[in-house]
Amino acid sequence: MILSVKSSHGKVEMLKELYIKNYALIDELTIGFSKNLTVLSGETGAGKSIIVGALSLILGQKARTSSIRSGTEHCVVEGRIDVDRNHPVINKLKNLGIEYEPDLGIVIRRIITISGTSKSYVNGLQVSVKDLRDITGILIDIHSQHEHQSLLNVKNHLFLLDRYGKFQNELETYQKSYRKILGLKKEIEKHTIDEREKERKLDILKYSLNEIEQAGLTDNEDEELEKEYKVLKNYEQLVSSVMTAYNLLRLHDNSALTMLESALLEINKVKDFSKNIDVLSSELENTKLIIEDTAVSLKNYIDSIEYEPGKLDKILTRLELIKSLKKKYGLTIQEVREYGKKCREELEKLEVNDDILRELEKQLEEELQQAQKHALSLSAQRRVSAHTLEDSIKKELSYLSMEKTRFKVNITYKECDEGVVVIDEKKYELTLYGLDQVEFLISTNVGEPLLPLKGVASGGELSRIMLAIKTVLGNVDPIVTFVFDEIDLGIGGKVSWAVGNRLMNLSQLKQILCITHQAQIASKGNLNLRVEKRGRDQRTITVIKFLDGKEKIEEIARMISGENITEAAISQAYEMINDRSEAKP
């Protein structure tokens, strides 16, 4: 029975299809994969690893022009991956502005040209190689002698341990406290000022405020002073001219009013004789009244001008003061007064700053205690879970005939002079993920020290270790597709059988692509592909043959007995394919 590889929400998550054109010995090739275990087999040198190489390109591996098929200008590799809407990669796509449609999946396309240029596209949008790696880094893992991805990244070890132990809620509680600490520290930093700087700032603010307040400025005062200055500066000429005009209108013997009054007397003598003359008489009367009012206004204006000795100098001094203040504090009197208001507010803030700081520091201390409590609790739970994980992986390694291999989840704290968690008089650093730094360590031989995973030399050995870890962490690892190349390196018989069983078990949780020369492993495939070299138009090309039931038996028999396939090998191949013992975890 073939089990579907589904997320917890029912969506089948898998690499659906791989399209390759003009890559190495491949002319043009489209490969569809099983949602469980796909096995690629074939003669040495047929091009099995070329498939893995092409797949690596869409994972962001460095592009080499030597990989482009001879005689062509560029190569293209395209993969289509289906994921659930709740897979972590969806947020990555969203942050990059990449649309995701469940029916279309994630389409990744890489083009390499003979000139050395490389372009990467995700759902039609061009992305950088770095973004491509970020996206595919949580989708596909390749394990071979030269390609080991997510598990060799130490940053992923803590993430996997937390998912294994199901500590998401505990971690979120801690992180809420941690982020609050960051916010409080930022607020404290904003309110913290060097004492010398504080005194300097206080002096400047007090001086500026005192200067502005002592000036006692009023809105538009400068404009009014300018007008008054203009009047006083021209006082003598102004008074002389206005008085002359007043006299000409009213006081002289032949003034305008005297002349008008004489004219009115003459007109009034004859106004009863003609209606038109009567109208003219009224107009002259109105003119007389206007001139009288104008004369009064001229006299009043002269009387209103208060000329005091030294007043002109006072106005000039005041204008100079205003000009000086505007030069320092604003373009207008209103801006100067507004600046003074801001100075007062800033002074008040500085005066109450110590109280605010004390309150913030009190809150920070309380939150640090909470964060430390959550971090220590989470750390204790992680250590318990780490022992369980170690035991489970050791059992898997033993099953894969690596009984002498030791596996350890190493949990340490980072000592730091400014650390906030104190244990045995030592200070340790808190991070967004708590106190713990987690790294998976391995020792493959008795007497050898535990080393980081990347320190394991043998490619096949490391692939089996990865298989053991992936088998245990299969339910919590977000990786959709695992690719195992050379997992059978240096093994045979019982070990190959164990590896095949574990691949089949893991393929019930994740999609597996496996390149193998071992019949025991190939017999577990849900889909078997044979990679072959063929001649075409006087050139060698790599092709893929999808094997039906009979062809699968023949391919496995070839692995058992070589090119001369025997009846015994056929029978044994048939038995291997139908033997599903130990398939369940």
Between residues 101 and 149, which one has the greater pLDDT? 101
Per-residue pLDDT of 215-232, as tens digits, reads 888 888 888 888 877 777
Between residues 413 and 190, which one has the greater pLDDT? 413
Per-residue confidence band for 181, with pLDDT thresholds at 50, 70 and 90: very high
Instruction: Say how far apart CA 407 and CA 395 lie, in whole Å.
Output: 10
Average pLDDT rounded to a whole number, residues 62-67: 87
- pLDDT at position 289, please? 87
Per-residue confidence band for 312, with pLDDT thresholds at 50, 70 and 90: confident
Average pLDDT rounded to a whole number, residues 180-192: 87
DSSP 62-108: PP-GGGBPTT-SEEEEEEEEE--TTSTHHHHHHHTT---BTTTBEEE
- pLDDT at position 5, please? 41
Per-residue confidence band for 1, with pLDDT thresholds at 50, 70 and 90: very low
Q: Does residue 456 surpass a pLDDT of 80?
A: no
Measure the CA angle with vertex 212, ends 210 and 217; round to 5°.
140
Residue 45: CB atoms within 10 A of its CB come to 12
Instruction: Say how far apart CA 242 and CA 231 lie, in whole Å.
Output: 13
3 state DSSP class of 144: coil
Per-residue pLDDT of 526-563, as tens digits, reads 999 999 988 887 788 889 999 999 999 999 999 998 88
3 state DSSP class of 134: helix
Give residue for tokens 């505007």: 326
Contact 468, 440 (CB under 8 A): no
Q: Does residue 94 surpass a pLDDT of 90?
A: yes
Average pLDDT rounded to a whole number, residues 327-351: 87
Q: Does residue 36 surpass a pLDDT of 70?
A: yes
Instruction: Say how far apart CA 522 and CA 124 lie, in whole Å.
Output: 36
Instruction: Say how far apart CA 37 and CA 580 lie, in whole Å.
Output: 14
- pLDDT at position 585, please? 39
- Name, in order, each residue with C-beta under 8 angstroms of 139's C-beta and a sequence gap of 6 or more: 81, 83, 89, 106, 479, 480, 481
Instruction: Say how far apart CA 159 and CA 166 lie, in whole Å.
Output: 10
Average pLDDT rounded to a whole number, residues 323-334: 88
- pLDDT at position 229, please? 75
Contact 356, 192 (CB under 8 A): no
- Name, in order, each residue with C-beta under 8 angstroms of 121's C-beta and a sequence gap of 6 or more: 107, 108, 109, 110, 111, 127
User: Whole-number mean pLDDT of the chain?
Assistant: 86
Half-sphere CA count of 20, side-chain side, radius 13 A: 26
Per-residue pLDDT of 255-288, as tens digits, reads 788 888 878 888 888 777 777 887 888 888 888 8
Instruction: Say how far apart CA 279 and CA 271 lie, in whole Å.
Output: 8
Report how far apart, in Å, the C-alpha atoms of 403 and of each of 299, 396, 443, 471, 539 are.
121, 9, 11, 16, 48
- pLDDT at position 2, please? 31
Q: Does residue 505 surpass a pLDDT of 80?
A: yes
**Phi and psi (nearest 5°) for 333?**
-60, -40
Q: Which long-range contacts (CB under 8 A, 24 or more apart) does 324-333 make?
A: 325/211, 325/212, 325/215, 325/217, 328/208, 329/208, 329/212, 333/217, 333/218, 333/219, 333/220, 333/221, 333/222
Residue 253: CB atoms within 10 A of its CB come to 6
- pLDDT at position 263, please? 83
Quickly count helices (H) and strands (E) in the chain: 17, 17
- pLDDT at position 3, please? 34
Q: Does residue 239 surpass a pLDDT of 80?
A: no
User: In the numeric block, which tokens belong to residue 279?
Assistant: 């109208």
Instruction: Say how far apart CA 149 and CA 142 lie, in whole Å.
Output: 6
- Identity of the highest mean pLDDT range in 172-186, 235-249, 257-271, 570-584: 172-186
Instruction: Say how far apart CA 128 and CA 201 lie, in whole Å.
Output: 48
Q: Does residue 38 surpass a pLDDT of 80?
A: yes
Instruction: Say how far apart CA 584 and CA 72 lie, in whole Å.
Output: 48
DSSP 29-49: EEEE--SSEEEEE-STTSSHH
Give this prediction's pTM. Answer: 0.68
DSSP alpha helices (H): ranges in 400-458? none
User: In the numeric block, which tokens belong to residue 360?
Assistant: 């913030």
Between residues 334 and 457, which one has the greater pLDDT? 334
Average pLDDT rounded to a whole number, residues 490-503: 86
3 state DSSP class of 274: coil
User: What is the percent of the chain where pLDDT is above 90?
Assistant: 41
- Identity of the highest mean pLDDT range in 6-15, 275-284, 356-365: 356-365
Instruction: Say how far apart CA 442 and CA 437 lie, in whole Å.
Output: 16
Per-residue pLDDT of 394-419, as tens digits, reads 999 999 888 889 999 999 999 988 88
Q: Does residue 145 surpass a pLDDT of 80?
A: no
Q: Does residue 499 surpass a pLDDT of 60?
A: yes
Instruction: Say how far apart CA 487 and CA 83 lie, in whole Å.
Output: 26
Measure the CA angle with vertex 581, ends 580 and 585; round to 5°.
100
Q: Does residue 458 surpass a pLDDT of 70?
A: no
- pLDDT at position 147, please? 52
Q: Does residue 294 surpass a pLDDT of 90?
A: no
DSSP 211-246: HHHHHT--TTHHHHHHHHHHHHHTHHHHHHHHHHHH
Tell the burial category of 359 from Cβ atoms under 10 Å away from its Cβ (0-12, 13-18, 19+). Answer: exposed
Per-residue confidence band for 6, with pLDDT thresholds at 50, 70 and 90: very low
Q: Does residue 352 surpass a pLDDT of 80?
A: no
- pLDDT at position 584, please? 44
Residue 345: which H helix or E strand, with range? helix 333-399
- pLDDT at position 73, please? 92
Q: Does residue 4 surpass a pLDDT of 50?
A: no
Instruction: Say how far apart CA 237 and CA 291 lie, in whole Å.
Output: 22
Average pLDDT rounded to a whole number, residues 419-429: 86
Question: What letter would DSSP give residue 4?
Answer: P
Instruction: Say how far apart CA 554 and CA 312 lie, in whole Å.
Output: 118
3 state DSSP class of 111: strand
